[in-house]
Chain A
Amino acid sequence: MAKKMNVIIAEFESSGSLLHAAEKMNAEGYKNYDCHSPFPIHGMDQAMGLKRSPLGYIIGFMGASGMLGMIALTYYTNIYGYPMVVSGKPLFSWQAFVPVIFAITILMSAFGAFFGMLALNKLPRLFHPLFFSQNFGKFSDGGFFVSVESDDPKYDEEKVKSFLSSIGGKNVEVVKD
């Protein structure tokens, strides 16, 4: 089991104030914090100083392996597995295989996008200390929250609490695991 982790959360009024809070958190040098909102907020990645998601590489890799795998399968089955001459065409008449190769490329990319996204987000994770908070559930309705996890290098309960209030956070709460 992972070691116990406390989280401090503070509520903000709107997407705009959350964006400002994120900029200040980033400037202050916090790392393990997050900004929770009911929908993705435009410009939040820059405000939090986040790098681009590496998901594209995962999808590209999965799509390419699907394509190559399917080319290999059609090649193997038509040359060695079950060679069959149709209307005097070459055994590996690849034009006719394009639809299936295309379909599997798409399918594997979709798996890459879905499972890659879950893996990068460390989901499914049915339990998280944040769920202990009574107030936090509002994030999926119309609430905006900043959360700071206790494994942040700058974590100090009192300091974080006062900093969150100073940047406009309301209902500051320490959620204990």
Chain B
Amino acid sequence: MSKDLTDLKVQKEVLIEGNPTFETITDNVSRVVEKKPGKIWYILFTISGSLTLMLFGILAFLFWEGTGIWGLNNPVGWGWAIVNFVWWVGIGHAGTLISAILFLLRQRWRTSINRFAEAMTIFAVICALLFPAIHVGRIWVIYWVFPIPNQMGMWPNFRSPLLWDTFAVSTYFTCSLLFWYVGLIPDLATLRDRATDKIKKIMYGIFSLGWRGGNKQWKHYELAYLVLAGISTPLVLSVHSIVSTDFATSLIPGWHTTIFPPYFVAGAIFSGFAMVMTLSLIARKAFDLEHVFTPKVLERMNIIMLLTGTMVGYAYSMEFFIAWYSGSEVERFAFINRAFGPYAWAYWIMISCNVISPQLFWFKKLRNSIPVMFIVSIVINIGMWFERFVIVVTLSRDYLPSSWDYYSPTIFDIGIYIGSFGLFFTLFLLFLRYLPMVAMSEVKGVLPEADPHHGGGH
């Protein structure tokens, strides 16, 4: 009964604008992949490809020389590598939220952005996984983090949050990839059936696995999709909670707090939505997909950013309150030092980007303005990077004043971070070039004529 009611509500709302038919949806989405990309694509691909090559170059030097090329010093043993790791993995969370949680809640407006957001998740997690891997220093023994029987007779320490991270993030990556691929199968079949040249036909043919769209296949497919959505849902909460335990289980003042897991998850969704927003605003402009990424979808994403941004702001103030309320001197010092110490500049960048800027979305006019949301979405991601930076550089003033030091990155830290953008955008551009960026079969499924009872069929 209640399901019927939600269906009714959805019917009233126009999810995809411009009254498209199934054929126009196929056309609009597929032609992006089928035609030769414009000059812009080649320019962007050259830039991001060169940055990726730069990344590989720096990584080679890093493996040769060791992590001494970074700006790490004695109190700050975790530098940009961890900041970037947490930042990238956080960005990934919006994709899973959109594809899994909103799917289970039957928020059908998600269909236009889910493919896109899931791709972003996968590429962001690839960038994220890079950083802990290179941070181990001796990458050639990275297999020690996996429980593989070895000649030393040693096993990994399953009590360590860093090991939880390995398991959580690699599971997250695998599940996201499978989920994404399952969603892609029917659309790859569409591209296969439309392909005119032989190589494309063979490649899309192989990757669509021989999909025939029969209901006997849809039956298993739909259940698999539902279950993958279901099991990805706890991952949205668990992965970043586990990432936060990297900090929270230590005894560092400013890190050792129970608020970390929920606060990290809210921050992850916040920054992830900002990234989806940035990318989809570019894509809808570049590929004329304004009727698919409708203003309504964008507005809802802004509301989610307002919500999670405010939650993050609440967490910042609660941290301060608890630092005072706990009566712990070192805890109090850690927080006063954050706001007024040598890194106060980073702290106030964080506050103004993360807490103040999303408040603009209280105004209907501003949250419907494309330039405003574009700028705010970028500002938010800058702010979220600084949030993790502020947390990590708390290390610079620990219990013992004699060991205090100021941390600053070297050119290699910066190069690897910029290079990870190169990797991300290279993958993203390849995705836009070769795969349908909107889930066609799902979008067709939410059109009014997809309903078998549409138009008085019964």
Contact = CB atoms under 8 A, between A and B. Distances in A.
Given A109-B227, A114-B182, A123 B215 contact: no
Contacts of A16: 452-455, 457-458
Contact of A123 (B22, B179, B210, B218): B210
Contacts of B232: 110
Nearest to B239: A103
**Which of B167, B192, B455 has its CB near the most chain A CB atoms (within 10 A)?**
B167
Interface stretch (A81-89, A150-158, A159-167, A169-177): A81-89
Interface of B: 21-23, 26, 147, 153-159, 161, 163-164, 167-168, 171, 174-175, 178-179, 181-182, 186, 189-190, 192-194, 205-206, 209-224, 227-228, 231-232, 234-235, 238, 242, 245, 440-442, 444-445, 449-455, 457-458
29 contacts: A14-B452, A15-B449, A16-B455, A16-B458, A19-B457, A34-B214, A36-B213, A37-B215, A38-B26, A38-B441, A42-B451, A53-B220, A55-B227, A81-B153, A99-B245, A110-B178, A110-B228, A111-B178, A113-B228, A117-B182, A117-B223, A124-B209, A137-B193, A139-B193, A139-B212, A140-B189, A140-B213, A142-B22, A147-B214
Interface string A82-120: 101010000001001101101110110111011011101
- The 7 A-B pairs of least Cβ separation, nearest first, read A16-B457, A142-B22, A34-B214, A117-B224, A137-B193, A124-B209, A39-B445
B207 to A, nearest CB: 9
Nearest to A74: B158
Nearest to B164: A99
B167 A139 contact: no
Which interface residue of A20, A82, A107 has the most chain B CB atoms within 10 A? A107
A96 B159 CA distance: 5
A86 to B, nearest CB: 6
Given A38-B444, A56-B223, A113-B228, 8 more contacts: A20-B457, A34-B215, A39-B186, A41-B215, A41-B218, A106-B171, A125-B209, A141-B190
Nearest to B163: A100
Given A42-B451, A102-B238, A82 B21 contact: no
A48 B220 CA distance: 14
A33 B209 CA distance: 20
Given A82-B153, A141-B23, A142-B21, A113 B219 contact: no
Contacts of A142: 21-23, 26, 444
A109 B452 contact: no
A48 B210 CA distance: 22
A63 B231 CA distance: 10
B175 A110 contact: yes
B175 A106 contact: yes
B158 A77 contact: yes
Contact of B22 (A38, A102, A106): A38
B222 A141 contact: no
Contact of B215 (A50, A77, A106): A50
A121 B155 contact: no
Contacts of B242: 99
Contact of A121 (B181, B206, B217, B445): B217
B158 A35 contact: no
Interface string A11-52: 000111111101000000000001111111111110010100
Contacts of A93: 159
A130 interface: yes
A110 B231 CA distance: 7
Nearest to A137: B193
A104 B171 contact: yes
Most buried by A among B157, B227, B245, B442: B227
A38 B171 contact: no
Contacts of B163: 100
B310 to A, nearest CB: 29
B209 A118 contact: yes
Contacts of B175: 106-107, 110
Given A77-B147, A82-B153, A14 B449 contact: yes
A5 interface: no
B452 A43 contact: yes
B221 A121 contact: yes
A113 B178 contact: yes
Contact of B159 (A20, A86, A124): A86
A25 B179 CA distance: 33
Contacts of B450: 15, 39, 41
Contact of A40 (B167, B218, B449, B451): B218
A2 interface: no
A1 interface: no
Contacts of A128: 210, 212
Given A93-B159, A113-B227, A19 B452 contact: yes
Contacts of B194: 137, 140-141
A114 B452 contact: no
Contact of A18 (B22, B174, B440, B452): B452
A96 B158 contact: yes
Contacts of B179: 110
